[in-house]
Amino acid sequence: MSDVLIRRVGRAGRITLNRPDALNALSYDMCLGIDAALREWACDPEVELVVMDAAGKRAFCAGGDIAELHARGSAGDHAFGQRFWRDEYRMNARIAAYPKPVVSLMQGFTMGGGVGLGCHASHRIVGETSRIAMPECAIGLVPDVGGTHLLAHAPGRVGLWLGLTGSRIGPGDAIHAGFADHFVPEAEWPDVIALLEAGNLSIPAHDPPVERLPELREEIGRLFEAETVPALILALESEGTPFAEEALKALRLASPIALCATFEILRRLGSRAEIRAALELEYRFTFRAQAQADFLEGIRAAIVDKDRNPRWRHSTAADVSAEEVADLLSPLGADALTFEEDKE
């Protein structure tokens, strides 16, 4: 059975991630297959819209297949990861600019690469089990797959909080933060999909659950207004609230250089950045992540040895120099991320 089911049903192009035992982790081959289908359907008059969903109840997509990236990267094959990220980011940009409606239904975990698939769609549906996060800093990477674009456009300082801490948000907060559009109870999803396959884009209206972001917005805005990561950590340490302690715990576990690079990416993007600008900046970091940052060590500690004791290159964010961050985010020259439309 294929890891991703690609077919046309009625008026819809259908993409179903089909690795439920692996939480539908996105492999390079899956990425290439999805992108090829999107390109074909863009010019197919029989396809009016695209529907993306996933098998199983636990996850829409819990991220990219980082085990494969670690295995190849640790063996010295950094080019594999660079190709994977390049082609994945091109797919993310294609979804965001797709000429036809793209509907994603995101149950369970939607993290990392899953955000890149589902959260750039034009119509983003979440249900009661949905949990969305960008936890890359915990594995030595920056939020990528266009995630920094979403974070930069989140209200207030919510995006900075989500990007640095990797906090998981439920369906109501995902809509509040701009990662989703519609709350539909998951029992209704088969009926919604049947309508979509018939070319009917009507999505039932349901009030999303009210979660914690509306109440946290003021505290997030006040504590995350610092100008540097070390200053942010000091502000959290002096606060002493349950929220501050929760955020501090996440920051202390994350890669210091990933935190500082994420902070700088979001600073550069501002609130008006286009997704291609975000992807291009993310790629500067990910292109170098295996050789110059903490990515391989983060994966080792999290999923290979599972000792949860990464040996980061820096002890604290205060040890990361501005010059090192600037180097990681400097232009790549001939290796810079480009998009197919630019070359055709």
64 is catalytic: yes
Angle CA 117–122–126, to nearest 5: 65
In this structure, what token pair is assigned to residue 280?
A: 């291009």
Percent above pLDDT 70 for the chain = 99
- 68 pLDDT tier (thresholds 50, 70, 90): confident
Please write the tens of the pLDDT for every residue from 95-118. Answer: 999 999 999 999 999 999 999 999
Mean pLDDT of 81-86: 97
- 341 pLDDT tier (thresholds 50, 70, 90): low
Structural domains in the chain plus CATH codes: 1-133+171-210 (3.90.226.10), 138-166+212-344 (3.90.226.10)
Cross-strand partners of 123:
103
Please write the tens of the pLDDT for every residue from 7-35. Answer: 999 999 999 999 999 999 999 999 999 99
Query: Which of 13, 63, 64, 298 is an active site residue?
Result: 64
Mean pLDDT of 205-209: 94
Whether the pLDDT of residue 240 is over 90: the answer is no
Mean pLDDT of 124-137: 98
In this structure, what token pair is assigned to residue 201?
A: 């884009």
In this structure, what token pair is assigned to residue 112?
A: 């990392």
Query: Which of 63, 73, 112, 113 is an active site residue?
Result: 113
Q: Which of 111, 64, 110 is nearest to 286 (CA)?
A: 64
136 is catalytic: yes
144 is catalytic: yes
- The torsion angles phi and psi of 14, rounded to 5 degrees, stand at -115, 130
10 is catalytic: no
- 271 pLDDT tier (thresholds 50, 70, 90): confident
Q: Which of 144, 140, 115 is nearest to 278 (CA)?
A: 144
- Encode burial over 98-119: b for 16+ CB neighbours within 10 A, e otherwise: beeebbbbbbbbbbbbbbbbbb
Please write the tens of the pLDDT for every residue from 29-64. Answer: 999 999 999 999 999 999 999 999 999 999 999 998
Q: What is the pLDDT of residue 180?
A: 98
* Reported pTM: 0.96
